[in-house]
Amino acid sequence: MQIKPGIKFKDADSYIAVFPENTQKMLQQLRSIIKKAAPASAEVISYNMPAYKLNGILVYFAGYENHIGFYPTSLPIQVFKEKLTAYKTSKGAIQFSLDEQLPADLIKRIVKFRIEQTQQRLKKNVVKKTFKMQ
């Protein structure tokens, strides 16, 4: 399944709706896992795919013909490398096969790691601004 060029999604529901039923179920499961791990986050469309924002973008996800792409940025992939050996990964992406169950606990841990990472970055920026003002 490839998204037709030129289609611009306004929300996650319209994004998920273009995929086959099995893929939709997995995308909805991933969406639910992320929302439970980051209940204060806002669901947005960024780069024409669903994303979750809390002090910056936490994670993105996308559907493909044979897998679900999960994009938590590069540091979590390094930190959780030992737990990700069963999945195809790249610098900023993890691929979950459509033929296997999503690793809910691992996804939650990665999302919570991203929340902590963005909070630390926010604190660091506040400290920098405070020192500049003095």
Domains of the chain, earliest start first: 12-129 (3.90.1150.200)
Whether the full predicted model's pTM is greater than 0.85, yes or no, is yes
Backbone φ, ψ for residue 46 (5° rounding):
-140, 135
Distance CA 106, CA 103 (A): 5
Q: How confident is the model at residue 121 (pLDDT cuts 50, 70, 90)?
A: confident
128 vs 44 pLDDT, higher one: 44
Q: How confident is the model at residue 126 (pLDDT cuts 50, 70, 90)?
A: low
Asked whether the predicted pLDDT for residue 91 surpasses 80, the reply is yes
Q: How confident is the model at residue 124 (pLDDT cuts 50, 70, 90)?
A: low
Alpha-carbon distance values, 9 to 5, 12, 22, 30 (Å):
11, 8, 20, 18
